[in-house]
């Protein structure tokens, strides 16, 4: 382990926490204390001390060549954000799905204290070996480290007051709901309609999960039973759509759609540089069943084939052989303030209509840019009559209802 500067780990750790606070992800004195206490660099011994405290993830287990890593230590701001959502307290029993380096489990151990209990599980034996060794070396030997399929949870120490998932599932396995105590909280980076958001579910008295807090994030996809749900289809050179299998989207009908005449509609809503637009997406899923993700590579954009707001991840709407995606335009040269207007570009027979519908959601979002969609997860098989109002996302294990 080497450092690229003469700055010591304690100072670098304090700088890391200061950055998390400046980014708006630190609202708890107990979480701040845990972040300033746990020596993150000792959980990634192959990284430099400087890299260990930078706001980036660090791979500890590579995946397939050219693919995503199999395991890593998460970005510090995301770690703090999810711990804030989890609200773990002294005495709580916590289950972590995805052991990673063991760093997050150490933070959880600090939060629940000596009267609480932390169990972390991972499907990769070499990952759990690394986590076990790092936790022992840093004094967190009371954390239970388990090798196994996280989709099955760990019934030995259930019920849990809190469950946190640090890999990216597409579905919510029944074991998690069964092992979560009534009133308990499940924080999970769930994928639906092309987006991944860290969702803070609370288990209700009737056993369903309800969330009023979700935040944009990205995680390594989970492996295991029922976790291969998202579909990806190429609709043009260097352009993909990401959607769910319950959606009536036929990629074959969309081939060549971007070559058809484009109609761009402007919403009148604008954002400053670096201002978040992420809450548009869950709002869109709450009114438009055809919501998906539009992903264009550099070549497609440079060729003028499309102009999405965010090249690799823009919300889009699909209806039959037509689509529309989020776009934006910069300020006029004479503008006194740098703001970017949001709009939508549509292609195909219904392209203009879809663009207007997307802009209608943008305008609604603009009236209250912090308003959250309510996300409710019911067991699969729940009759429609027992669901809340809103579009339904049918997965293998749960039925999600998004209400705005």
Closest by Cα among 345, 347, 354, 242 to 287: 354
If you write DSSP's letter for every residue of 265-327 in order, what string do you get?
EEEEEEE-TT---TTHHHHHHTT-TTEEEEEE-HHHHHTTS---SSTT-EEEEEETTEEEEEE
CA distance 280 to 260: 26
Mapped to the 3 state alphabet, what secondary structure does 147-184 carry? ECCHHHCCHHHCCEEEEEECCECCCCCHHHHHHEEEEE
- Provide the angle, in degrees to the nearest 10, between the axes of the packed helices 29-37 and 103-112: 130
The 3-state DSSP class for residue 27 equals: coil
Q: Which long-range contacts (CB under 8 A, 24 or more apart) does 45-50 make?
A: 45/1, 45/134, 46/1, 47/1, 48/1, 48/2, 48/3, 48/4, 49/1, 49/2, 49/3, 49/4, 49/7, 49/8, 49/9, 49/12, 50/3, 50/4, 50/5, 50/7, 50/12
Spell out the SS3 assignment of 40-88: HHHHCCCCCHHHHCCCCCEEEECCCCCCCCCEEECCHHHHHHHHHHHCC
28 is catalytic: no
Catalytic residue among 28, 57, 71, 74: 74
Residues annotated as catalytic (active site), given as ranges: 74
């Amino acid at each position: 382990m080497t450092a690229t500067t003469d700055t010591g780990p304690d100072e670098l750790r304090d700088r890391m926490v200061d950055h998390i606070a400046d980014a708006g992800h630190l609202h708890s004195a107990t979480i701040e204390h845990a972040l300033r206490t746990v020596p993150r660099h000792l959980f990634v011994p192959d990284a430099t001390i400087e890299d260990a405290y930078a706001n980036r993830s660090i791979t500890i287990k590579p995946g397939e060549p050219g693919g995503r890593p199999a395991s890593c230590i998460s970005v510090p701001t995301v770690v703090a954000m999810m711990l804030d959502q989890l609200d773990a307290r002294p005495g709580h029993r916590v289950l972590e799905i995805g052991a990673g380096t063991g760093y997050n489990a150490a933070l959880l151990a600090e939060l629940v204290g000596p009267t609480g209990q932390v169990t972390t599980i991972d499907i990769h034996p070499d990952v759990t070996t690394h986590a076990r060794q790092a936790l022992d070396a840093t004094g967190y030997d009371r954390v239970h480290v388990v090798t196994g399929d996280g989709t099955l949870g760990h019934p030995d120490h259930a019920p849990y007051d809190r469950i946190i998932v640090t890999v990216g599932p597409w579905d919510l396995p029944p074991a998690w709901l069964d092992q979560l105590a009534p009133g308990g909280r499940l924080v999970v980076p769930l994928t639906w309609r092309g987006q991944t958001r860290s969702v803070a579910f609370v288990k209700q008295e009737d056993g369903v999960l309800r969330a009023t807090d979700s935040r944009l994030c990205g995680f390594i996809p989970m492996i295991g039973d029922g976790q291969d749900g998202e579909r990806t289809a190429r609709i043009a050179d260097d352009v993909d759509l990401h959607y769910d299998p319950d959606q009536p989207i036929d990629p074959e009908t969309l081939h060549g759609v971007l070559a058809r005449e484009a109609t761009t509609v402007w919403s009148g809503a604008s954002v400053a540089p670096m201002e978040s637009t992420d809450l548009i997406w869950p709002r869109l899923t709450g009114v438009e069943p055809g919501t998906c993700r539009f992903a264009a590579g550099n070549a497609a954009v440079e060729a003028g084939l499309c102009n999405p707001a965010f090249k690799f991840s823009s919300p889009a709407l699909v209806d039959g052989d037509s689509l529309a995606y989020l776009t934006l335009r910069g300020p006029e040269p004479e503008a006194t303030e740098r703001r970017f207007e949001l709009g939508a570009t549509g292609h195909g027979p219904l392209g203009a209509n879809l663009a207007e519908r997307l802009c209608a959601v943008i305008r609604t979002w603009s009236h209250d840019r912090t308003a959250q969609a309510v996300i409710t997860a019911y067991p699969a098989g729940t009759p429609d009559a027992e669901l809340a109002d809103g579009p339904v996302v049918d997965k293998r294990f749960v039925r999600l209802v998004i209400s705005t």
